[in-house]
Amino acid sequence: MEVLTEANSTDRSQPFEIKVEHITEHDDKPRPYLCTVCDKRFARKDVLNRHKQIHSVENLYTCRECNRSFSMQNALKCHQNMHTGKYKCTVCGKCCGSSSHLEEHRRSHSGEKPFQCSDCGRCFTEAGHLVVHSRIHSGEKPYKCLMCDKAFSESGKLNKHMRVHTGEKPYKCHICDKAFSRSGDLNTHMRVHTRDKPYKCSLCNKSFSRSDILRGHKRNVHSNKRPHRCRYCEKAFKRNDSLKRHVSIHVGAKLYSCRHCSDHFASHYQLESHLLMSHSEGTSLL
């Protein structure tokens, strides 16, 4: 992809502005079709079906170093460059498959961001990242879901959304049988096993596994605000569920049911009293 002007190609000390319409090549298509053999994704089902044929073909282009196979010879040559070290980073030693990939990788060390947004001035290491960013300003959402009316500015977001329809859960816990549609949900779940609690309360010494639990803790324990007010009396509550239980006293609702019989009660105290007197469960309420 050629996006540099001749003048800018000689001086990379400053980021240059680049118009989005000048970028004609960018592989940012939605890829909802997954190959279950190699985990590659494709934008169209017919392309996926053609791709699947390579897994049944015997004479593929195979790398002698690692036995990885490719359907095209030029793809194999690009891969082999990583073994030979032809395009090797002099900073960290990483080997890339082509000179363009090496150039992009070097920017991770230099911090160079030559692609600048003409609307807000934000800079990017790759032209494709600028293309995606520009949609914030234009409101463009070219990636439309074929199963509902939602549209997205990035193909990755559409791919994640498609899991709502397909039920796909590619992120699996290696300790238990649970699986998740988003990587973030898997990371949160793993704290069940690791007992990691990275969200620490700044007002006490308690820690929590999720940020929303920490927010609830601060609101319910440390905040004096009681935004949930009863419309029947002057009482106010920090939490909406506490207000609902209180309102049941006014309206006569009986939210607390006995697990031994069919009786219901308006308060938890009444239920405990019933369990003690009728079913000999619990201790003295005094």
Residues 28, 131: one domain? yes
* Residue ending a domain, choose from 140, 174, 209: 140
Q: How confident is the model at residue 48 (pLDDT cuts 50, 70, 90)?
A: confident
Is 108 inside any structural domain? yes
Domain span holding position 243: 228-279
pTM greater than 0.85 (yes/no): no
Considering the domain boundaries, does residue 169 fall inside one?
no
- CB contact at 8 A, 247 and 232: yes
Q: How far apart are CA 197 and CA 218, in angstroms?
A: 15
Residue 53 is assigned to a structural domain of this protein = yes
Boundary (domain end) residue, out of 96, 116, 140:
140
Q: Among 275, 246, 251, which Cα is nearest to 263's?
A: 275
* Any domain includes 259: yes
Q: Which residue has the tokens 């193909």?
A: 155
Distances (CA, A) of 213 to 205, 220, 238: 14, 10, 15
CA proximity to 112, closest of 4, 22, 2:
4
Count the alpha carbons within 13 Å of 200 in the hemisphere toward its beta carbon: 4
For the stretch 225-247, pLDDT in tens is 777 888 888 788 877 888 887 88
Question: Both 20 and 129 in a single domain?
Answer: yes
Cα 229 off chain centre by = 36
pLDDT tens track for 186-199: 888 888 888 888 88
Specify the number of domains making up the chain: 2
DSSP 222: I
Percent of the chain with pLDDT over 90: 6
Of the residues 76, 110, 140, the one at which a domain ends: 140
* pLDDT-based confidence at residue 46 (cuts at 50, 70, 90): confident
Q: CA 180, CA 199: separation in Å to the nearest integer?
A: 22
Cα–Cα dist 206/208, whole Å: 7
**Is 98 among the domain residues?**
yes
pLDDT single digits (tens) 160-182: 888 888 888 888 888 888 888 88
CATH number at residue 239: 3.30.160.60
Element (H, E) at 123: strand 123-124
Provide the residue count of the chain.
286
User: What would the pLDDT profile of 53-85 be if each residue is shown by its tens digit?
Assistant: 666 655 578 888 887 877 778 888 888 999 999
- What does the DSSP 8-state code read for residue 247? H
CA–CA distance, 247 with 235 (Å, rounded to integer): 10
Residue 173 domain-assigned? Answer: no
Instruction: Kindly state whether residues 131 and 16 are assigned to the same domain.
Output: yes
Nearest to 202 by CA among 215, 193, 192, 189: 215
Name 95's bridge partners.
88
> Which pair of structure tokens corresponds to residue 204?
């006490």
Instruction: Let me know if residue 94 belongs to a domain.
Output: yes
Domain membership of residue 219 (yes or no) is no
